[in-house]
Amino acid sequence: GSKQVPSGLIERGLLLKLRFDFDHAINLRPSKLYPNTTTPLRDEIAQAGDIDFIVVREGTEGLYCGNGGAVRAGTPQELATEVSVNTAFAVERVIRDAYQRASARNKKITLLHKHNVLTNAGRLWNRIFNEVGEENPEITRQYLHIDAATITMVTNPSSFDVIVTDNLFGDIITDLAAAVTGGIGLAASANINPEGNYPSMFEPVHGSAPDIAGKGIADPTAAISSAALLLNHLGYTSAAEKINLAVTADLAHRNGTRSTSEIGETIASKL
């Protein structure tokens, strides 16, 4: 965003406020390595299997809910706290959503946490993950510590199908996932209120790029893919798939530099 806006204002005053007030419990971020897309991965890793997974991140709790404070600020005795909030209701809600998505995909789900250190929250997440897993025996489930998951993300990303995790870990791992699948400029996301009581929100992961505003050179791919997530959420799965196929076709033959409108028109022509 613009450097004229103080750091944290957009995140805390707008984005997180929207997510909390609209109860966006499910933050969904697909990651797919498209053909002809540059990746920092070695060829033998990038070509070992299809890199196509989704991260289902809890969006309303954890360390991002603003539970904490500071005393004696600005002094050598300053004390600052950030408290992670995890309720059984919210954890079960996001885990059930992730299992449903795994059931519709390749029937494999991975929980990311750090339960050997974050013992209280970790115990809650593991318990519910395994309880819901017992209800879905056809789905293979595994657990990874978040630090071990970052290693797997760059050494064997094709092993992932559906990842479920908390707010902070999800925020971090999805940026790494974007990096290994072509960059944050291609990454789409959805912030979903699963009960439908409030509007859901669909947006590119990347920022507003004020340094190139008005130049007509911003890549619209992530925004277009976010529209596909919107259509899929509303039940227009066929239309969403057409957009995804058009994006894939464009990326497979993309070369050189094109304007925003040229990329958009090319993708539209492939629908």
> For the segment 119-137, what is each residue's pLDDT rounded down to a tens digit?
999 999 999 999 999 999 9
pLDDT in tens, 1-18: 566 766 766 676 678 888
Reported confidence tier of residue 211, pLDDT bands at 50, 70, 90 = confident
Which pLDDT score is estimated for 10?
A: 66
What is the torsion angle, in degrees rounded to the nearest 10, for the CA atoms of residue 173, residue 179, residue 180 and residue 185? 120
Q: State the pLDDT at residue 13.
A: 67
For residues 83 and 248, what is the distance between their CA atoms, to the nearest angstrom?
A: 42
Which of 226, 177, 221, 222 has its CA nearest to residue 200?
226
pTM of the model: 0.92
Residue among 232, 88, 96 nearest 164 (CA): 96
State the Cα–Cα distance between residues 249 and 34, nearest whole angstrom.
9
Residue 24 in this model has a pLDDT that exceeds 60: yes
Give the chain's domains with CATH numbers.
Answer: 9-69+79-182 (3.40.718.10), 208-271 (no CATH)
Q: Supply the residues annotated as catalytic.
A: 64, 114, 147, 171, 175
Of 163, 141, 145, whose CA–CA distance to 52 is shortest? 163
* pLDDT of amino acid 1: 57
Distance CA 81, CA 8 (A): 17
H/E stretch holding 230 reads: helix 221-233
pLDDT attached to residue 148: 98
User: Quick check: 168 and 150 in contact, CB under 8 A?
Assistant: no
What pLDDT, on the 0 to 100 scale, is given for residue 103? 98
pLDDT at 254: 86
pLDDT, tens digit (0-9, with 9 covering 90-100), for 151-195? 999 999 999 999 999 999 999 999 999 999 999 889 999 999 999
Q: Is 233 helix (H, G, I), strand (E, B) or coil?
A: helix
Please, what is the Cα angle at 83 between 80 and 87, to 5 degrees?
Answer: 170
